[in-house]
Structure 1
Amino acid sequence: MSKSYLIDTTNCVGCRACQTACKQWKDMPGEQTVLNPTTRNFQNPTTLSSKTLTVVQFHELEDDKAPGGLRTVFAKRQCMHCEEPACASACPVTAIHKTGEGAVAYDASKCIGCRYCMWACPWGVPMAEWDSLAPKISKCDMCHERFQFEAPAEFNGQALSAEDAKQLAAMNSLPACVKTCPAGALKFGEREELLKEAKERIRQSPGKYVDHVYGEHEAGGTNVLYLASVPFTKLGFPEVGTEPYPKYSKVALGAVPPAVIGVGAVLGGAYALQKRKAEVAKEALAAKPAAAAAEAHDHHPHFERLDKKLWTPANLLLAALMAFGGVSFLARFALGLGGATHLSDTYAWGLWIVFDLVWIAVAAGAFATAGLIYVAQRKDLYSIGRSAVLMGLLSYSFVTVTLLADLGLPWHFYQLGLQAPEHSAMFEVSWCVGLYVTILLLEFLPVPFERWGLAKAAETWRKYAPVYVVGALSVFVYLLSRKVIWSALALVVFGFLAWTFRQPKGKKPEPIMLAIAAVTFSTMHQSSLGSLMLLMPDKLNHLWWSPVIPVLFFLSSIAAGLGLVILVEMWIAKAWNRTLRVKQLAAMGQVTFWALLVYLVARFADVAVRGELAGVGANPKGALFLVEVVVGGLLPLALLSQKSLREKPGVLGLAAFLTTGGIVLNRMSVVLFAMTLKGPMPQIAAASYSPSVFEWGISVGLIAATIFLFGLGARLMPVLPAEEKSH
């Protein structure tokens, strides 16, 4: 049985005693309030905030029978305490959690300050302490600490009888707002009993109430139930459907453990098949010495360091931008999240989350290239591999820096290792991205080993890198499932692959297990970034929101990543006056074509099946959708469709730019452009958002650092293929 409120708005007189009692019990500070011209009434404060956990909302409704033709209806607004709360489902560290009594409570000692709960809640309830250097979340917790009230042995100097003690305990076990209400508008008790009472009131007074108990079915049911004399839409209550918001995220996150094992097994089988085909082709070439020599030359190029001056005007500019980024990063912690950004209870996420979603998508070229070269045995693309992995390593490393700046309480990061949320996409992404960074590092380590002749380190890497892969994937499966059976199965599958594909000593190692891990981890976190949005069907336009958005995010990342790899290779050739490897880039363009085609087919099929495609013209975001899929999808698809076009550098570069740009626009739309945010409860005062100078400073500084460090790495280590002597 769950504890619940029954709020009868027909009895509320707007005295706001509940607001005062809440503030007093929770020791909340007062707020500077002003009359809001948009509401034209005396409601104050206008919305919930970190200083106000409940607010009485005023509604002036037309009524010919009322004096002046207007009737005032009051409604107490607070956390709805959902039966299946989206905020608790979102939280990666169980800081927000459902108690046994039915309350949705908050534990600040666990919170990392990601603010995902604020975006997940359909009613806009969780609020952040933006004026604090350590901003915590604030929300009503049903005064659940009062539930266990024990009556004292004496009261006013007199011993209490058992009956008096029981009565006193019952009176003081109520939430502060309920205990204070003088008009009988609030009642507290067991949910099923209050539902029966609410329906009985409607039955006995059909002219007094609308036949609807708000909260009985909304979002799967809530522990705050409302009665009203007018439809709830007139009181500003949102229509949130009857399905619990975590419904789809449960399915998506529940599929991760078997998906990890399945994807790894498929990749291992594909590698074994392609390896055998490559060996047969090699045997056929052996009979043709000239062809075999040309093949070996193309597929196994030598690598060299870039012989260029470091401190060029361009690099000096990058250094200045990096310095500004560093200052902005320091300002973020000196001024606090609220002081350094323009984030608010409406826009709890902003530029940095857009930046992360975009950067992770376009950095997918690292795993896509590794999969092509090693799993698919596309050795003709080998010369691109090192630069793709270095760019991926830098990109993902700096994504973690952005996350550090964006978290309100980053020093609680260790809670990600202690807590076990049931189905939090943020938890999955955090662990998956963190482990993938280590895989990228292991993939790149042979390059510095080669540069500085670290033979023993290289041998250690050869022996133990597969062991680390097996352990990392097995631990990840356990963290997502919390079931030993799934973890043991992962250990068996990946252990078998590592043993089967073990590299004999003395032979040049092929890091197939690292490639399998890279593709597997990336498949999981690229899709789970889409799972973040499954809790926001009320906010994200349905041309973008979809039950299959995790699949769409994964498919689109492949196209975006390959497009960026092509652009990076062209930038390398242009900036450093190197030979443009048109043959390899055209081959990469062909793979990009198929990746983009699969994504676009899935994208159009999704919106068509859900009935959204037919209404694109009437959709307020329809033009944005058309720009994304036509300019960033169909047009580059046409440019990449023919070999003759792909072999023209200008056409290939334009196609890669449009492909990557289309996916970038998709991610920006998902977080900002296609979102409709109403602000904190009662969602009548949404704020606007534009990034602050410090938000831009950190973002631009990290991009500059990535470009600068890539160039530095190419100068220090053999990252780029050796140029022909005649060049």
Structure 2
Amino acid sequence: MTEPAGGIHTKTTLVDITKCIGCRACQVACKHWNEGEGEATELEYNLGFQNPATLSAKTLTLITFHELPNEQAQGGLNYLFTMRRCLHCLEPACTSACPTTALARMADGPVGYDADKCIGCRYCVWACPWGVPTPEWDSLTPKIKKCTHCADREDQPVPLERNSVPLTADETDRYKKSITTPACVKACPADALTFGDRDSILQDAHARIAAHPDKYVDHIYGEKEAGGTTVVYLSSVPFEKIGFPDVGTKPYPGFSRTALHAVPPAVIAVGAMLGGVYSFMKRRTVALIAAAENNSALASKPKFAPLDAPLLTPFNWGLLALMAFGVISLITRFVLGLGGSTHLSNTYPWGLWIVFDLVWIAVAAGAFATAGIIYVFQRKDLYSLGRSAVLMGLLSYSFVTVTLIADLGLPWNSYQLALQSPEQSAMFEVSWCVGLYVTILLLEFLPVPFERWGLARAMAIWQKWSGAYVAGAVTLFVFLLSRNYVYAALAAVVFSALAWLFRAKDKKPEPIILAIAAVTLSTMHQSSLGSLFLLMPDKLAPQWWSPVMPISFFLSSIAAGTGLVIVIEMWIARGWNRPTPMRQLAAMGQITFWSLLVYAIFRLADMGVRGQFAGAFGGTMGALFIAELVVGFVIPLALLARQSSRMLPRTLFLGASLTTAGVVFNRINVVYFAMHVKGAMPQVAPEHYAPSIFEWGISVGLIATTIFLFGLGVRLMPVLPAKETIQGD
């Protein structure tokens, strides 16, 4: 993004609402210049003659109608009209959200859009506090539409002559000024719109207020809102009376800037810290083994074997049916497009699939948590849980990617993520981090098929090069996020050193560098999923929005992930008639308890510091918050608090299930229930949302595919401990 500036080179439009006559010449001129299609509209009963009701992909400028009670006026009403369009922030939320710089602020003020870079993630729609960007829902290639302040008019050539008579220098200058003036300003017959440099425009606005204090309220909307905009307004009534939202004065990118700028140094610090923890715990474990050579839990690893069970069971036939429905739904999504296959809208640009991804990523945290616990913290007594956790994580993250492809409006432009370098974008960070983490999960799991089919040469290559890959991948990630050679060099040094120090030295090496990379990358993307919502302080209820959401998301993912590991292991034992390893699961339950307790304390302390408890328990949001506290904190903490309770299968299962369910409920609240949805500008006609059958089909189909492939994997490869080696308690 270009350095924000409010000086003489920043093009600005002043909208004087007191002069607007509601003729809609600006609305027509905008549609004409941008070659917008007509749209069938209906008058809204509460909007008078305002038509259409909101901005859309076909209407980039809109005149809104306002009837204000006034007993002294004829008819008892005053009528006000105002132009609504993109305000072109000095520090735009949309450009901060965009992961591919498809939306970018130009040096002279306008926020432009490059469709060739856009992947159709629609994060900009959520991020904009005014509801300006709108997707083309009726298109198979849904691009984003918004006012560009007619920046493209500057490209129009200046004629050399008129009626065969060469233009004078004065005529040429007048023509340039005329053609570079936005179409709406040029068309206004009432002098309600003024175009110029921001400093002079603001001076003019302040002068009008000073000259006519009885005519104007002493407020220039856009002078300071969201850090300042390049479309500013004067009004005769307070702006809240005509639907202008109070968005505060802080630039929206500032809400996420600190968190995102902390990622590159955090990667280096977390990696180094985990290396130190492993070194300490390794020495401690060696000492314990030496002191107790007969302690089998420490001195030996369990034997793994493929599951001996039939594949084509009635349950799996049901999964195959759901998978088939998922494939049909996925094909339908691309045949009909997003608008034709989903119920997404300008009010709900994200729906079930994003909820699904946030939930799945949170609960799939069991993969990195288990790897970190076993290898970094040297909990060898939990080694038997590692392979199944990594396989489930690999499958889950792989299908998260499929869901994201289905959700993107322009997925074929995803390669732009490798070409562009946004200054700060949580979506960019999450995209790269998740992609690299999937490759780490694959490397973590590869020794299992190598072992199964005796691929000794492949195992040797894995041993030799996996550390180098980790160092390269992490260095690339740090550089892409920071564009800082110092940070990249530090990452290369730290992770290369870790790869060398913890390199394979025997035939069955511990994948320490992979575990460190998995925990490091997961820490970053789990937290940055919280950063996605930092740009939405005006939409997300205060019980959930917080400047420390990234930390909250990370802490909750550990509790959810370890809880799901317990649930899956108990399902495996029951479904395939295997002994339940209660001692290991109870130990994992203890980790889940402490993780959940830390998360609960952190979240409640944060609310206390921000002074949010006073109104946290009232109304619908309060009911949701109480339900989340009870289901996700109070009950599972009570169930998992004591070792004797954790050794009871039903109690442990219920406690782990509620822990996971509480985090799932949290993610659903964040994306859906706790969102104060407003819709497109002027945010007066929000649509309702319920997922379509195809949205459900893809989601359920991918869940079924994950379960089926997990079952297939444990039958083909030594993922689960051999039945005879499990100590059921």
For the criterion TM > 0.5, the same-fold answer is yes
Written as runs of structure 1 = structure 2, the 5 A alignment for 1:654-693 is: 654-693=654-693
Quote the residue 1:23 is aligned against.
Answer: 31
Selected match of 2:78 from 45, 68, 71: 71
Quote the residue 2:4 is aligned against.
Answer: none
Map Cα deviations across residues 435-485 of structure 1 (whole Å, 9 max, x no partner): 000000000000000110000000110111111011110110000001111
Quote the residue 2:108 is aligned against.
Answer: 101
User: Which range moves more in the overlay, 481-490 or 324-333?
Assistant: 481-490
1:484 equivalenced with 2:485 (yes/no):
yes
Written as runs of structure 1 = structure 2, the 5 A alignment for 1:179-578 is: 179-286=186-293, 291-293=294-296, 295-296=298-299, 299-504=300-505, 506-578=506-578
CA RMSD across the alignment:
1.1
Q: Quick one: distance in 2 between partners of 1:623 and 1:401?
A: 34
1:36 equivalenced with 2:27 (yes/no):
no
Contact 1:34 1:44 in 2 (8 A): yes
SS of the counterpart of 2:292?
A: helix
Residue segments in structure 1 that go unaligned for 5+ positions in a row: none
Q: Quick one: distance in 2 between partners of 1:155 and 1:66?
A: 50
Contact 2:302 2:725 in 1 (8 A): no
SS of the counterpart of 1:188?
A: strand
Q: Quick one: distance in 2 between partners of 1:515 and 1:619?
A: 44
Map Cα deviations across residues 365-401 of structure 1 (whole Å, 9 max, x no partner): 0000000000000000000000000000000000000
Q: Quick one: distance in 1 between partners of 2:297 and 2:700?
A: 43
Selected match of 2:61 from 54, 60, 63: 54
Quote the residue 2:89 is aligned against.
Answer: 82
- When normalised by structure 1's length, the TM-score is 0.98
Counterpart residue type for residue 537 of structure 2: P
Q: Quick one: distance in 1 between partners of 2:584 and 2:174?
A: 82
Cα deviation for residue 667 of structure 1 reads 0.1
Quote the residue 2:6 is aligned against.
Answer: none
Q: Quick one: distance in 2 between partners of 1:397 and 1:35?
A: 46
Change (3 A) 1:284 1:3: same
Quote the residue 1:592 is aligned against.
Answer: 592
Q: Quick one: distance in 2 between partners of 1:63 and 1:149?
A: 47
SS of the counterpart of 2:233?
A: strand
Quote the residue 2:152 is aligned against.
Answer: 145
Q: Quick one: distance in 2 between partners of 1:197 and 1:404?
A: 49
Q: Quick one: distance in 1 between partners of 2:617 and 2:307?
A: 52
1:92 equivalenced with 2:99 (yes/no):
yes
Contact 1:586 1:646 in 2 (8 A): yes
Contact 2:14 2:201 in 1 (8 A): yes
Quote the residue 1:8 is aligned against.
Answer: 16
1:642 equivalenced with 2:654 (yes/no):
no
SS of the counterpart of 2:723?
A: coil
Counterpart residue type for residue 656 of structure 1: A
Q: Quick one: distance in 2 between partners of 1:154 and 1:562?
A: 76
Map Cα deviations across residues 49-104 of structure 1 (whole Å, 9 max, x no partner): 00000000000111223211111100000001001000000000000010111001
Q: Quick one: distance in 2 between partners of 1:559 and 1:172?
A: 60
Map Cα deviations across residues 193-219 of structure 1 (whole Å, 9 max, x no partner): 100100000000000000000000101
Percent identity, aligned pairs only?
A: 64
Contact 1:608 1:614 in 2 (8 A): no
SS of the counterpart of 2:19?
A: coil
Contact 1:375 1:516 in 2 (8 A): yes
Q: Quick one: distance in 2 between partners of 1:74 and 1:725?
A: 78
Counterpart residue type for residue 446 of structure 1: P
Map Cα deviations across residues 129-154 of structure 1 (whole Å, 9 max, x no partner): 00000000000000001135553111
Change (3 A) 1:724 1:256: same
SS of the counterpart of 1:385?
A: helix
Counterpart residue type for residue 166 of structure 2: A
Cα deviation for residue 257 of structure 1 reads 0.3
Counterpart residue type for residue 27 of structure 2: Q
Counterpart residue type for residue 22 of structure 1: C
Contact 1:151 1:166 in 2 (8 A): no
Map Cα deviations across residues 668-707 of structure 1 (whole Å, 9 max, x no partner): 0000000011100001110000000000000000000000
Quote the residue 1:605 is aligned against.
Answer: 605
Counterpart residue type for residue 489 of structure 1: L
Map Cα deviations across residues 13-60 of structure 1 (whole Å, 9 max, x no partner): 000000110111111111112211122x11111100000000000001
Q: Quick one: distance in 2 between partners of 1:523 and 1:294?
A: 29
SS of the counterpart of 1:134?
A: coil
Change (3 A) 1:294 1:429: closer
Cα deviation for residue 501 of structure 1 reads 1.2
Change (3 A) 1:582 1:293: closer
SS of the counterpart of 1:45?
A: coil
SS of the counterpart of 1:71?
A: strand
Change (3 A) 1:410 1:495: same
Contact 1:447 1:718 in 2 (8 A): yes
Cα deviation for residue 615 of structure 1 reads 1.9
Q: Quick one: distance in 2 between partners of 1:203 and 1:596?
A: 58
SS of the counterpart of 1:60?
A: strand
Q: Quick one: distance in 1 between partners of 2:408 and 2:268?
A: 31
Q: Quick one: distance in 2 between partners of 1:678 and 1:502?
A: 54
Cα deviation for residue 169 of structure 1 reads 1.4
Q: Quick one: distance in 2 between partners of 1:608 and 1:335?
A: 48
Q: Quick one: distance in 1 between partners of 2:69 and 2:658?
A: 53
Change (3 A) 1:292 1:559: closer
SS of the counterpart of 1:68?
A: helix
Cα deviation for residue 655 of structure 1 reads 0.1
Cα deviation for residue 281 of structure 1 reads 1.1
Q: Quick one: distance in 2 between partners of 1:326 and 1:437?
A: 22
Q: Quick one: distance in 2 between partners of 1:22 and 1:248?
A: 33
SS of the counterpart of 1:10?
A: helix
SS of the counterpart of 1:140?
A: coil
User: Which range moves more in the overlay, 684-693 or 277-286?
Assistant: 277-286
- When normalised by structure 2's length, the TM-score is 0.98
Contact 1:552 1:599 in 2 (8 A): yes
Counting matched residue pairs gives: 719
Map Cα deviations across residues 588-615 of structure 1 (whole Å, 9 max, x no partner): 0000111001000001001111111122
Counterpart residue type for residue 182 of structure 2: P
SS of the counterpart of 1:621?
A: helix
Q: Quick one: distance in 2 between partners of 1:47 and 1:212?
A: 25
Map Cα deviations across residues 399-449 of structure 1 (whole Å, 9 max, x no partner): 000000000000001000000001100000000000000000000000000
Cα deviation for residue 725 of structure 1 reads 7.5
Cα deviation for residue 627 of structure 1 reads 1.0
Cα deviation for residue 618 of structure 1 reads 3.1
